[in-house]
Structure formats: C-alpha cells, structure tokens
Amino acid sequence: MTSWRLSGSSGADDIDGTVGIAGLGGLGSNIACMLARSGVGRIVTADFDTVDASNLNRQIYWPSQVGMKKTEACRRILEIVSPGTEVLAYDIVLDADNIPLVFEGCDVICEALDSPEAKSMLVDAVLTRMDGVPVVAGSGMSGMDSPNSIRTVRRFDRLFVCGDGTSDGGDMHAPRVMVCAGHQANAALRLLRGMEG
C-alpha cells in the first residue's frame, strides 16, 4: 500500500494566511488551485457564474461540472487536491459595497475578473476601503505572443499587476492564461511570506 501527503499538509510547508480570489474563471480557478497546492491555509472565493463547456479549455473544471456554480465546482476540486485548505465560497456579484465584507480578514486579494470596469472597481475598493491589504491584478494575457512577455510589476504601494499590459481583449489560450495565473499565485505567496510581490 502506498501512502502520500500533500506537501502543503505536512506542516513544514503550510502557509499561514488567507487569500481572496475575485473571479473563478481562467485566472481565478487556476490561482486557487496553485495556492491550495502550495499549502495556503485559507482561500476565500467569489463568483456568480456557472461552468460552461467553453470554459474547459483554460479553467480547472471538469466536463462533469458543466452547469454547476463555479464556486461549488472549484471548492470540490480544491477539497480533492488539498484537503487541508479551508475554502470559503461566495456565490455573489461583487460590487464596491460588498467587496470589503466578502474579503474581510484576507491578507492578499487576487483580482481575476473579466471586464476592465469590474477590475478597476475591485482594485479601487480594496485600495481605498481595506487598509493594508495588497491586491494582485491580472492584465494582458490574451493572444499567442510568447508567455515570456508576462511579468509582475508593482504599480503602487499595494497594487501588483501581472501580465504583458497590452494584450487584453483577444482570444484566451490556456498557456498564457495559466502563466499569468502562476504569476498572480506566486505574488500572493511572496506577499504572505513578507516578501515584495
């Protein structure tokens, strides 16, 4: 019989802290999975959408989850890949008023929303209404350019932006989306460890 333990469940690699993830699409679902696999103790997710067949090419969901709420589908996957991670899921449309309530107690928030207006609204709400909480945003990952153009840049004291900064609005493909999600997850982990994102 073979036994195994996730590295994040052993205690040595567990990461104290809570990460909020706004949006569970291509960026957010992959960020959540990477953070859970890395041993983050608590993840707070928020999304209002359901899994669609068109999501399966770049999001973590399974074909059997089509039609399921993304919050529930993501929670079920995280329970499998990292049983020690606590997941708090909000099936909700985020707005400037509920963002501080949904993500209360988070040490870092990852922005993974679709529209530029929603992205701006979340960043503004966190920076103006959540003292000391950094936000890690995604901007520029569409198309087929080299994934090496995706970077993490500190824009303000508490704002970190991951992406190439230019390629929003085109077709989304798994490799560049996942590279950008990796940058966001890595920045969140660094911030939890007291390092600059």
Average pLDDT of the residues of the chain: 87
Give me the pLDDT at residue 8, please: 45
Does residue 2 register a pLDDT over 70? Answer: no
Per-residue pLDDT band at 191 (split at 50, 70, 90): very high
pLDDT tens for 51-63 read 999 999 889 999 9
Q: What is the mean pLDDT of residues 23-43?
A: 95
Q: What is the mean pLDDT of residues 154-176?
A: 78
Give me the pLDDT at residue 172, please: 60
pLDDT tens for 116-162 read 899 999 999 999 999 999 999 998 666 566 667 788 989 988 999 99
Long-range contacts of 72-81, Cβ-Cβ distance < 8 Å, separation of 24 or more:
74/24, 74/28, 74/29, 74/32, 74/45, 74/47, 75/45, 77/33, 78/32, 78/33, 78/36, 78/43, 81/6, 81/33, 81/36, 81/37
Per-residue pLDDT band at 169 (split at 50, 70, 90): low
Cβ count near 32 (within 10 Å)? 31
Give me the pLDDT at residue 7, please: 44
Give me the pLDDT at residue 39, please: 93
Give me the pLDDT at residue 144, please: 61
Does residue 32 register a pLDDT over 90? Answer: yes
Give me the pLDDT at residue 171, please: 65
Which domains are delineated in the chain?
14-192 (3.40.50.720)
Is residue 110 a contact partner of residue 19, using CB atoms and an 8 Å limit?
yes
pLDDT: which is higher, 166 or 82 = 82
